[in-house]
Amino acid sequence: MKMDMNTPMLLFLWFTILCVVLPQTHALWIEIPSSGPKCISEEIHSNVVVLGDYFLFSDHKNTEHITLSSTVTSPYGNTLHHLENATHGQFAFTTAETGTYTACFKLVGSNIPAGGQNLILDWKIGINAKDWDSVAKKEKIEGVELEIKKLEESVDIIHQFLGYMKEKETNMMEASEKTYAKVAHYTYISLGVCISVAALQVWHLKRFFQKKKLI
């Protein structure tokens, strides 16, 4: 079988698609303690779709009356999802600001086992949260074309993330420069005060010795 000259490039393209584009497993197995909440967080930039699906799972007996209290908050503390007395739930939102988004879960009930309960959370972000079946039907694409479109969106997301990291680095550098300037300013002031105090002490001692006629 003769190998076409473009075969290595196609293999490389498919390898890239498999590693970068294809949806990865986002299901998390979380152990919720018998007392207090269990929180997980994710740093996400703005204008990103987030989907979540969670449910309690346990092999203990007499846990049918145990429920969840769940809350998802934004970096500024805004509540994006809240549910009480449920064993499963879903949340969906588009991020409005860049930062750390937090999901907290707490057990509610009278027969909570000492070891707590297990929660399965399917958290999908960005490209993995998109309904690609609907996209394929709407744009009438499939196979390699669909995977290339996924790759294009992945590259766009990576580009946005790099821009966010660059902006974050710039802000940190500006904050560092301001801090250094303030430290230098306070150092000069402290040095000036020390020199002034030393000069005043010398002047005071000189007058004291002159009054005592020691010099």
**pLDDT digit of tens for each residue in the chain (215 aa)?**
444 444 445 444 444 444 444 444 457 888 888 888 999 998 888 888 888 899 887 665 665 678 899 999 999 999 999 999 888 999 988 888 888 999 999 998 877 777 788 899 988 887 766 666 665 666 666 666 767 766 777 777 777 777 777 888 888 898 888 898 889 889 999 999 999 998 898 888 888 877 777 66
pLDDT of residue 141: 65
Token pair of 189 as six digits: 């002031």
pTM of the model: 0.58
pLDDT of residue 138: 64
pLDDT of residue 98: 85
Beta-strand relationship, 79-86 and 67-73: antiparallel
Domains of the chain from N-terminus onward: 21-130 (2.60.120.380)
Packed helices 132-139 and 144-211: angle between N→C axes, nearest 10 degrees? 130
Number of alpha carbons in the 13 Å side-chain half-sphere of residue 46: 6
pLDDT of residue 20: 43
Does residue 28 sit in helix, strand or coil? strand
Nearest to 105 by CA among 49, 44, 57: 57
Helices and strands of the chain, counted as H and E runs: 3, 8
